Amino acid sequence: EAQVTQNPRYLITVTGKKLTVTCSQNMNHEYMSWYRQDPGLGLRQIYYSMNVEVTDKGDVPEGYKVSRKEKRNFPLILESPSPNQTSLYFCASSPRSGTSGYNEQFFGPGTRLTVL
């Protein structure tokens, strides 16, 4: 089944304890992205990747890191989480990047993160 998977789905952690949220897609998609969703703020883009080893900042990158060493994986790293990073996180992938015309994003099921 074609899908985007995220792990873990739920995570409660404490301030300062490094964590990684994994994202994997099995559709051979070129483009991947991370978003956070907060009440009243909608979806905000954190980072995106146009291809392997090519990443760029979205609208709210502070406090996050990403890497794209393989086409299928795009982990989100919080080196020193803080309570303001408590949020619902979504990973998404798309067949192509840029203005190719294949911009539909396929979203994962989400990861609910709580930082105490």
Partner 1 sequence: GENVEQHPSTLSVQEGDSAVIKCTYSDSASNYFPWYKQELGKGPQLIIDIRSNVGEKKDQRIAVTLNKTAKHFSLHITETQPEDSAVYFCAASSTGNQFYFGTGTSLTVIP
The binding site for partner 1 (CB under 8 A) comprises 4, 31, 33, 35, 40-45, 48, 50, 56, 58-59, 90, 92, 97-100, 103-105, 107-110
Comparing CB distances to partner 1, the nearer of 19 and 50 is 50
- HSE-CB at 33 with a 13 A cutoff on CA atoms is 25
Comparing CB distances to partner 1, the nearer of 53 and 82 is 53
Which tokens hold the place of 94? 């798309």
Least distance from partner 1 to the Cβ atom of residue 97, Å: 5
Token pair 């009243």: residue: 40
Least distance from partner 1 to the Cβ atom of residue 95, Å: 11
- HSE-CB at 35 with a 13 A cutoff on CA atoms is 18
C-alpha to C-alpha distance for 58 and 98, rounded to whole angstroms: 14
Comparing CB distances to partner 1, the nearer of 24 and 97 is 97
Least distance from partner 1 to the Cβ atom of residue 84, Å: 18
Least distance from partner 1 to the Cβ atom of residue 53, Å: 15
Comparing CB distances to partner 1, the nearer of 9 and 18 is 9
C-alpha separations of 109 from 7, 9, 53, 79, 91 in Å: 9, 8, 25, 23, 8
